[in-house]
Amino acid sequence: MILIGLLIIAIGAFCQSSCYVPINKIKDWSWESYWIVQGVFAWLVCPFLGALLAVPDGYSLMDLFAAAPSFNIWMTILFGVLWGVGGLTFGLSMRYLGVALGQSIALGTCAGLGTVMGPVFLNIFFPEGDHLSKLTASVIIGVVVTLLGIAIIGIAGGMKSAALSEEEKKAAVKDFNFPKGLAIALLAGFMSGCFNVGLAFGEGIKIEGAEVDPMFVSLPATFLVTLGGFVTNMIYCFYQNSVNKTWGDYGKCSVWANNALFCLIAGALWYSQFFGLALGKGFLTESPALTTFAFCILMALNVTFSNVWGIILKEWKGCSPKTIAVLILGIIVLIVSTFIPQLIG
C-alpha cells in the first residue's frame, strides 16, 4: 500500500515538473497574460473539480465549508494568499535560472520549510493538539537529507554559472542570472511552503458523520489554498498588464484557441501534483511519519523530474562531466530522501 501511495505521488510530481513544457507552445502573449490564464485552470477549475470529489452524498461543497470552523477556512485561504507570492516568484525563478535549477532551489526550500511549518503553526494556534509530535526524528532527518540534495544541486548550478560564458548561459536560459535567480528562488521556496500550512489548517474541513474517501479528504482545502493564491497572482498579473500595456494580449483572437489549450494542459499538469498528493496520502495512513513527510516527498520528486526535463531541454548543455556528476549525485540524494522516514521509522 505504501509503495502504491509513493508511486501516485511520483506520478503527480512528474506531471508538475512537465507543466512548463506546454507553456513553450504559447504564442504572442506576455508572461503575465499566459501566467494568469493557465492559473485559471491550475488554481480554480481543476481544484474546484477535485474538491467536488470530497463532498459527501446529499451535501454540496458550500455545506462542506459551512460545517468547518470559520477560523480554519480563513486561515487556509490566508496561507493560500501567501503561497501565491511564492507562486509568482517561482515563475520568475524559472526565468532567471531555467526549469532545472530554478525548481531545484525553490522546491527544495519549499519542501523543508513546508513540512516543518505546518505542525509548528498548528501548534501555535491549537497547542492542545500536540502537533509538534508529528515532527519525529525520521521526518526531521528526511527533511535534512532533502535539503542536502538540494544544496548539492545548487552547487552544480554554481559550477554551471562559473564555467559557462555569457553567450552559453543565454543559449540555455535566455535571461540567466544566477545571483538574482537564487534570491528569487529562495523567497519563492519560503512563501511556497505556506501551501502545506494552508493544507494543515484545512484538515478540519469535513462534515462529521459523513463518509468521505480518505484519498479525497484534503482536496477541499487544496481548493481554498489555490483560491487564495489565484487572488494574489491575478492582482499582480493585471497590474503588469497595465504597466506593460499588454491588455491587448487577451484580444488576439487568432491565438486564443492555441494558447487556451496549452494553458489548460499546463494548469492540469500543475494541479496533478496536489491531486496525486491527496490520493497518495490515502495509502500512507498506516505510517504517520510518511503522511507528515508526504509534502516533502512531493517536492523532492518535483526537483528530481524537473532536472530530468532540464537535461532534455539542454539547459545543462556545455557543462563539464564533473558538474553533471554533482548534479546526478544531488538527484540520487533526493531520491533516497523520499524513503528515509520509512527506513528509519
82 has a pLDDT exceeding 90? yes
pLDDT band for 83, please (50, 70, 90 cuts).
very high
3-state SS class at 24 = coil
Using DSSP, how many helices (H) and how many strands (E) does the chain show?
A: 15, 0
Which tens digits make up the pLDDT trace of 96-147?
777 667 767 787 778 777 888 888 888 888 888 788 888 888 888 888 888 8
User: Closest Cα partner for 302 from 88, 6, 18, 32?
Assistant: 18
179-193, 211-225, 310-324, 331-345, range with greatest mean pLDDT: 211-225
Averaged pLDDT of the chain: 86
What is residue 125's predicted lDDT score, i.e. its pLDDT? 86
> Does residue 156 fall inside a structural domain?
yes
Inside any domain, residue 16: no
Domain that holds residue 307: 32-344
Percentage of the chain modeled with pLDDT above 90: 38
pLDDT band (50, 70, 90) for residue 52: very high
Residue 213 is given by DSSP the state: -
Query: Quick check: is 23 in a domain?
Result: no
Question: Can you tell me the mean pLDDT for 222-242?
Answer: 96
Max CA-CA distance within the chain? 63
- State the first-to-last Cα distance of the chain, in angstroms, to the nearest integer: 16
Asked if residue 345 has pLDDT above 60, the reply is: no
SS (H, E, C) 296-317: HHHHHHHHHHHHHHHHHCCCCC
Number of domains observed in the structure of the chain: 1
List CB contacts of 133: < 8 A, sequence separation 6 or more: none
| Grid-cell match 542570472, residue found | 177
Is 11 contained in some domain? no
Per-residue pLDDT, 167: 66
Tell me, yes or no, whether 26 lies in a domain.
no
- 237 and 32 Cβ atoms separated by less than 8 Å: yes
Average of per-residue pLDDT across 7-25: 88
Burial class (CB in 10 A: 0-12, 13-18, 19+), 322: exposed
Measured distance CA(225)–CA(113) in Å, rounded: 17
